[in-house]
Chain A
Amino acid sequence: MTELIERPAPEIGKARRRREDARLVTGRTRWTDNIQLPGMLHVAFLRSPMAHARILRVDVSAARELPGVVAAFTGADLGPEQGSLPCAWPVSEDVVIPAHPPVAVEEVRYVGEAVACVVATDRYRAADALEAIEVDYEPLDPVLDMEAALAPGSPGVRAGQSNKAFTWVFSQGEVDAAFAGAPVLIERTYVQQRLIPSAMEPRAVVCDRLGEDYTLHSATQIPHILRVMLALTTGIPEHRLRVIAPDVGGGFGSKLQVTAEEVVCLLLAKRLNRPVKWTESRSEGNLTVHHGRDQLQRISLAAESDGRIRGLKVDLLADMGAYLMLVTPGVPLLGAFMFPGIYKMAAYDFRCTGVFTTKMPTDAYRGAGRPEATFAIERVMDELAHELGIDPLEVRRRNWIEREEFPYTSVAGLVYDSGDYGAATDRATELLGYAALRAEQAERRARRDPVQLGIGISTYTEMCGLAPSRVLGSLAYGAGGWEHASVRMLPTGKVEVVTGSSPHGQGHETAWSQIVADTLGVPFEDVTVLHGDTAISPRGLDTYGSRSLTVGGIALLQACGRVREKAKSVAAHLLEADPGDVDFENGLFRVRGTDAVRSIQEIALAVFTAHNLPDGFEPRLDADATFDPENFSFPHGTHLCAVEVDTETGMSRIRSYVAVDDVGNVVNPLIVEGQVHGGIAQGIGQALFEEARYDEEGNLLTSTLADYLIPSAADLPDFVTERTQTPATSNPLGVKGVGEAGTIASTPAVVNAIVDALRPYGVHDVRMPCTPERVWRALEESR
């Protein structure tokens, strides 16, 4: 007789504290750099001090003689075996994908590019050996400015070749007609500065070889993709290569990459038949972890005199850096569809030119293309409001898609499935005290207070949950967008989940356990989640683009459903009932209208013993599922920010920040809030503090955390966050992605606030980051 347990509270929607924390708060972590293997050697890379140069000679012979040095290799020594680092997103017919040897052979094209490597018995001796390597360079002209790079006669990043990497265009509607005779025309140019993602854990790789089998640990977001790409790049067969992402300390896109160091460590383990480790230093990472953003945006908007948008044109230059890395050229494309934002318009024209420069390649950084697009449209909406003399909230209201208009096909061709922009905006204005702040702003303006108040608005949406495979294929992306999960019940009724998502701080172990607990009716504590190891989790497409829950979480849900159906057939068999008469609730199978009950744990044991199973039933209670959604997910929300600007010094201080986001249904509100907080902080970082700067010779001036300023607790305000909840219609949980939303939303909110504060002085733009000096100069120029 089964004991009836009390109906547990549904796990989904509960602010479960994270199970990951136990190892993280006690220091019992598994960072890649923690790994010590017997006989392990340490790798260090010699890096180019020149932005652009021909390599005349690399001599590692003296380094090889030093005590503790096991080997040293130049790019030529590694030879064709090192292959070319992959670009998996050939966006257009005309895209140029240059050869990209992990260790440069003939030419270096950015400061930090590897020119040789050493392998020594410990990291100190490896670092010493670098200084014994001699390199002769013949300097070549650096190429640093995108517009200059495209001008005729510009030096080439590759001699005799254009610096144009690709062009990509999109057009919808009658754009010329929309602009011809438009009562209002706004034309602006915005600079999306180059950013350094700055995950707190520097990259690290440990690679071991046993016979013909390789195990590569890496601080990566993408163990599965990495395995495929390393196999294709090095020729080491995929089935001989196991990739493990242990605890990974943040990524934000920066660990969505196939890096030179991963390829080289694999080759070194192969050549030396010893385990090797490489751990980067922060200053090495600032030079050589792919950078983000770096676009020049020319945006034109045509509108009616009442503020309704007629059309939008965007002409983008996107700095690729010196090479195309994993998804480098695809990043601006992810933005291409988001420039229209939440607004209705009939015509849209987008053109993007990818440009090579002698800088570190750019690639995905939190939001990847969408923050750039959202910034431009949200800035321009404020300009439109100013031009018309109406409140910037009102101009947005006049243009946004109304709740009852969903699903709505945007001018860029996306089908926004659901949303309620009005509800989020109403709540945000209430939380901020919008009207009172406007009154205070008027007072400060009237009394010419040296400290002016600005209110910034950002009403955003974004496309995330990267998937669907078909759409990605139509954009020439090199992989699919599905995700995989498997679920197995153990004999004692516990559950093992294997997920193809690869967390690096998000909290999958907790959220996935909540989903399983509800769908299988087992206690949260009875679930374990396995991930990040291609031997344990052979199928997956990893974690980026806010895709884990909306794709991987749904795969998990479906796998659980299949387990439940299998269990039901066993339950029906044991209860001698028709499966159609068996109901499942809270982990119990019950024959309708009777007291006959079996728990799912009892079924698990019955399947294990296999004494009495339905004919043909294999004695295993497990299932796999792969989910490929039909659409992206479209979170949205309204972020409002009040900034005080000291007009004497130019210093901006965020006084209050309110975010009302709609990410659909929520599995764990605590995790969602954390994602929003962190996202806002990174977006504020772009608005106020961060910029990767190169000098006129192509040297990175911001190679340490003393120069590349990321905000500390003392530099940020508290955040007021709430949610509205409009379920997604593209997945059965009704969930939308949340990982990037905060970053996408916050940057324009902050800059709009600063500009709003400065309007009375005739300042209508400040280039990011809005440093005190830039604000002061903007004021000076308009005085």
Chain B
Amino acid sequence: MGAGHAHRLYVPGASPVHRLAPQCKLVALLAFVTAVVATPRERMWAFAAYAVLLAAVAAVARIGPGLIARRALIELPFVTFALLLPFVAHGERVSVLGVAVSQDGLWGAWNILAKGTLGVVGSILLAATTEPRALLLGAERLRVPAQLVQIAAFMLRYLDVVAGELARMRVALAARGFEARDVRATRVLARSLGALFLRTYERGERVHLAMLARGYDGRMPATGAVAATPGQWGTAAVLPAAAALVAAAAWMGG
């Protein structure tokens, strides 16, 4: 039962970004994304500036570009949707490489790609420098309702259990020559999910009883100091403040 102590997404480290209090990082990321989304899509230089800001954070946190690129692959389905836009949208046509595409659609695609990618990279940096457990403590400090934090805590705790069971089932299915080819495969997948739910629940119930036996009363005991100093808030504010400046500049002029 080595799971739960560290997470696959977390990259251990001791950089200033890692040491920052989780609640500061959460607020900083939200503010940064707000600034990015509020930027008019025609100001391409502003998005370049945001990318440079994120690259600086990644450099300070010692998170390599390869890791970020690999994790950013999750964005691919949205990218395909964005790439389709120039072809299906109406409006004025422009010629790109000899193909007439909608100008409006082109801007729409750029809008989704640029803002989406910046948000995704921001989240990747947060997840790589913050343990999920610390993130929950941070959310608690930010007065996120206790019920939500509790659901999220149980969820993260059992995610590895569910993933482990699911992986074993997938191996078992593959070993029996199963391959999800079309809609008919849904029947098999549905059965597996039913079994998965029951297995996970009964395992979770045992864990819950064990937790109760050890004095669990609805919240995890905090082991380290979680209060953030004004200095930490100041450090965390550098990224959103710079982003806000860029956004303001983008709104003012060209």
Q: Do A and B bind each other?
A: no
Interface residues, chain A, with chain B CB atoms under 8 Å away: none
